Chain A
Amino acid sequence: MAGDFNRVASCKATEWAKILRLDMRGLRIALFGLLLFLTIFILAAFSDIFAPYDPWNRFEPFLAPCREHILGTNDLGNDILSELIYGSRVSLIVGFGAALMATLIGTLIGLFAGYFRGLMDETLMGITDVFLMIPQIPLIIILAAFLRPSFWLVALIMGALWWTSTARVVRSKAMQIRETSFIECSRSLGFSHMHIIFSDILPNILHVIMPKFLLTIASAMISEASISFLGLGDPTMKSWGMMINFAFTRGGFINGYWWWYLPPGLCITLSVLSLVLMGFSLEEREEETMRIE
């Protein structure tokens, strides 16, 4: 439109701001998310310091919140606050494990499909489309039912299923970058395909992969919470979903012991929120930058 000049001017401006790392558009929300996330991360990493008791220790059961047990105790007499703090570990491990695997697979498939195109693209994207249609949670339920529950397994299954949207985004970005002249240049210099893919294209799409990675962690965390709620969680670990499940099935909910199921629920929401805030604001920022350029 009329702003052809405007576009040019702000393009230069963003480049400069990028160099000077001054570009803060939309970052305030991401920063808030990061802060929230770091809090949870620190709680998980130093659970033994923050938790008042060992979560497996037994006290008097069904205690209401009091000075010794800020969030009371559950049916077995475990301190709920300690369970809550230790529960962050499962969420984070499953979330990170699944997302790391999914992002790795998605990035590789996307890169290859986008770079080689043609038959390779057709095949890989066909596989992606098929995977997209698998109802993931029901499949995880079935597999977890057959195999004895363990959180590693849950993370593994999720990682194997959730690479699809990353693959799509990476592919379209890789296709764009493949057409740029600096790739042309690398090709004419005779660099190998692998060299171009991993040293020229990959570094230029990391900024798209990052928000996807964060959002995948969020999905994995919410799903882990759901699986645990069904009682398919790892019995050797305390997790938030499992706490809600116990509160629900062992009378905590019916009796109105809100301190038993409300805190783990809020913890799930907040930790997912922290990641979603970071992911969404990075994604939106990316879109805006693209528009200007």
Chain B
Amino acid sequence: MSMRHDINAPILQVVGLSVRFETPLGLVHAADDVAFDIYEMETLALVGETGCGKSVVASAIMQLLPGNAVVEGKALFSKMDLLKLEEKEISRVRGNEISIIFQNPSLSLNPIIEVGEQIAEPLQVHRKMARRESHQVAKGFLSRLGLGERSLMRMYPFQFSGGMNQRVMIATSMILSPKIIIADEPTKGLDRALARDVTSEIEKIMDLTGASLLLITHDISLAAMISDRIAVMYCGEIVEMGKCKDVLREPLHPYTCALLDCLPERGFKPIAGASPSMIDPPQGCKFHPRCPYKTQECMQKQRIRKIDGDERQVRCWQY
């Protein structure tokens, strides 16, 4: 991984992002006051349990949420606020400057279009490239991912394995050399060996294209392997953020500690209690009902503590 930023300005700045869904049962607070920066050539991992709202954050940035979502906040990218763009304008950003890899490759690809055409499509849509030419480029990318055989271009997703389809998506996402690639659970449902393959493919692309990566995963060990910085999400909030090494070596937030204790190498300890309802989240710190260190303050208010400038932050009263 290339070393990062410091002097550079961030290329994506997410500020105060909140997402709520209107459902018949009431408002679901899927993301609350989420803020993070992504710098050039870096990998930021957004880690958390399934249902903590991390995927919602990714979709919100791309304006891909369903109609019942209410989004607030800002996502600044090359002097634009992505959240305020019209559909027409954001569609020029999607796939072109920011691309996303969905978590279910076999369902995300169109079942009756040849994979070659699907990889080449962004070239035709964004660059108005002729079909044949775009297929040439697509073929180049596919072979870089180890799917070089000519005939593969004319195959259909149902003829591919999940791992192959994942690679097709990776090739599609990088074909226009975007500035940011968002990978939403790229290894979900893949076995260990395949997950490792896909991970190394992703790393290869990051080096190749110089794009930044927003990695969304529930898998801390994957995040540890490839990310520069880590942000831990719990119940729609980022509870702790910092350099990957620091967070893993010296977790500050009790939830991060608990999450790390769940890992097999640390003894498989489950977190006591259950995830809170997102319709009616707890007052104050959302982790307090499950937190062994809770105090009176925790139940009423939250505090974000910044350490080393902006380098490290934690949402907890202990610090």
Contact = CB atoms under 8 A, between A and B. Distances in A.
Task: Tell whether any CB of A sits under 8 Å from a CB of B in the complex.
Answer: yes
Interface of A: 1-6, 8-10, 12-14, 16-17, 22-23
B299 interface: no
B118 interface: no
B152 interface: no
A4 B59 CA distance: 11
B51 A4 contact: yes
Contact of B24 (A1, A5, A6, A16): A16
Instruction: Tell which of B21, B69, B184 has the most Cβ of chain A within 10 Å.
Output: B21
Interface string B1-45: 000000000000000000001011100101000000000000000
A17 B25 CA distance: 8
Contacts of B147: none
28 contacts: A1-B55, A1-B59, A1-B64, A1-B103, A1-B104, A1-B108, A2-B58, A2-B184, A3-B65, A4-B51, A5-B28, A5-B50, A5-B51, A5-B52, A5-B55, A5-B278, A6-B21, A6-B28, A6-B69, A8-B51, A9-B21, A9-B278, A10-B21, A13-B23, A13-B24, A13-B25, A16-B25, A17-B24
Contact of B55 (A3, A9, A16, A22): A3
A291 to B, nearest CB: 11
B23 A4 contact: no
Contacts of B102: 1
A3 B21 CA distance: 10
A23 B23 CA distance: 11
B66 interface: yes
Interface residues of B, number: 25
A12 B25 CA distance: 8
A41 B292 CA distance: 67
Contacts of B55: 1-5
Interface string B102-146: 111000100000000000000000000000000000000000000
B56 A5 contact: yes
Contact of B279 (A2, A9, A17): A9
Interface string B48-72: 0011110110110000111001000
A56 B51 CA distance: 70
Which 7 residue pairs spanning A and B have beta carbons closest together?
A2-B59, A2-B55, A13-B25, A13-B23, A9-B28, A5-B51, A17-B24
A6 B69 CA distance: 9
Contacts of B53: 5
A9 B23 contact: yes
Nearest to A6: B21
A9 B235 CA distance: 13
Contacts of A17: 24-25
B24 A3 contact: no
Given A8-B51, A9-B279, A2 B56 contact: yes
A5 B21 CA distance: 10
Contacts of B28: 5-6, 9
A19 to B, nearest CB: 11
A12 B24 CA distance: 10
B56 A6 contact: yes
Instruction: Tell which of A2, A5, A16 has the most Cβ of chain B within 10 Å.
Output: A2
Nearest to B31: A5
